[in-house]
A = this chain, B = another copy of it.
Amino acid sequence: MSVRHTGVTTDPVIVRDDEQAACDVREVLDRIGDKWTVLVINELAHGVRRFRRLQRDVPGISQRMLTLTLRRLERDGLVVRTVYPTVPARVEYALTPTGHSLTSVLKAVADWAAEHRHTVIESRARWDSGTGAPGPGVDA
């Protein structure tokens, strides 16, 4: 375990090795790697939303999955749930600062996708063509 002095963080100077980092990534992926979480977060990034609105804006999501997703996000402190005791109960969901900070990461992923999507699709097409011919360079 080596010690560096990047001084970027306020943490002690012990550097997290990449095995630890990989483990962290897996943890996060276990949270946001499911089918709906990122879509819900993305929608909430636009602002406060009510349940129905979310279900409309996230096409294809079922009530059950929306509820489950929101509960998990709330449990992890990424989303806050506010209930207004009106007659037909009204509930609003909003990102916490922590939740909002996740959008930066999501953006990084989106940027990567935008840049490499074409390459990946191409590679997949070659693979599915049955040919083992790598062609002119696997990557640009």
Contacts and interface: CB of A to CB of B under 8 A. Distances in A.
Contacts of A29: 29, 32-33, 38, 109
Interface residues of A, number: 64
A86 interface: no
Most chain B C-beta atoms within 10 Å of own C-beta, residue among A34, A96, A122, A128: A96
A12 interface: no
Given A26-B39, A29-B32, A77 B139 contact: yes
A76 B38 contact: no
B106 A138 contact: no
A124 B76 contact: yes
22 contacts: A21-B42, A21-B106, A21-B107, A21-B113, A21-B114, A22-B38, A24-B117, A25-B106, A27-B113, A29-B32, A29-B38, A75-B124, A75-B127, A77-B120, A77-B123, A77-B139, A78-B120, A94-B139, A98-B139, A101-B112, A104-B112, A105-B112
